[in-house]
Amino acid sequence: MIEIRDLTKVYKLNKKQMKESRTTNPRKTAVDHLSLTARPGEIYGLLGPNGAGKTTTLRCISTIIRPTQGEIYVSGHEVQKEPEKVREKIGFLTGDIKLDPQFSVDYMFEFFGRLHQIPEEKLRARKEELFTYFGIKDFAHKKMKELSTGMGQKAAIAVCLAHDPDIIIFDEPTNGLDVITARSVTDYLKKLRTEGKLVIISTHIMSEAEKICDRIGIVIGGHKVMEGRLDEILQETGSEDLEDAFFELYRQTQGEE
């Protein structure tokens, strides 16, 4: 289970960042008092526009960055108190952590597997399963830097699943993928759900959220503005589809400013 209680993340901006953001305020609140619970056997989707705070939230869960305020429990372990325990449980995929460009896919997979102390035989079986599923075998020997965007994404997915984690945290998992490859990734996430794993993703692709997420948390400007199953969100906003619901919620937040 993932339980986020009142998460706030404030970034301190340097002068360059302040200039780029055209602000004189050195503090940027990326996530603002956000709470959510995601459970085993479900795919939870964080849906929001660019800059909403999705990646920041997922990075806090994954112990990559520290929350400014609030608590996050992953399988009962608080991320700041027991980060190693949390890291054992999770597989984290994000576009902003690059696998080493000099090494081959094969090497990266084995390196991460050993880092997680997976016995050799089990690691070989995992590699066979994942490389076959994602069609990685053909380019497993290639260096990461030689791969296309899609190949790189598939390789990164396989690597972060090497240790067969119970909790899968994927930041925009289908980013840069063609429809066929994207489908193989979302199908795999559904397979993980049927195995009873907890999957949490971020996306701004409405159809993806509609199709695969059991529950959706809509995040705008660092706030979770709505949460529920698709039918609940449509009913509450009086919308035909998720895109309409999203625009309605977005319009409401703009009105408040």
Ligand X SMILES: Nc1ncnc2c1ncn2[C@@H]1O[C@H](COP(=O)(O)OP(=O)(O)OP(=O)(O)O)[C@@H](O)[C@H]1O
Interface residue list for Mg ion (CB under 5 A): 54-55
Site for ligand X in 20-79 (CB under 6 A): 28, 30, 48, 50-56
Give me the 74-113 binding string for ligand X, x by CB under 6 A, dash otherwise.
Answer: ----------------------------------------
Largest Cα–Cα distance in the chain? Answer: 58
How near is the Cβ of 135 to Mg ion at its closest, in Å?
26
How near is the Cβ of 120 to Mg ion at its closest, in Å?
36
CA-wise closest residue to 5 among 45, 49, 60: 60
Site for ligand X in 158-187 (CB under 6 A): none
CA distance 169 to 2: 10
Both structure tokens of 192: 């993980």
Cβ proximity to Mg ion: between 113 and 217 the closer is 217
Cβ proximity to ligand X: between 21 and 235 the closer is 21
Task: Give the CB-nearest residue to Mg ion.
Answer: 55
The full length of the chain comes to: 257
How near is the Cβ of 201 to Mg ion at its closest, in Å?
11
116 scored as a contact of ligand X (CB under 6 A): no
CA distance 140 to 119: 20
CA-wise closest residue to 223 among 1, 4, 7: 7
> Which parts of the chain are beta strand (E)?
2-12, 27-38, 43-47, 69-74, 77-78, 90-93, 167-171, 198-203, 215-220, 223-228
Kindly list the residues in this chain that would bind ligand X in the complex (CB under 6 A): 11, 13, 17, 28, 30, 48, 50-56, 204
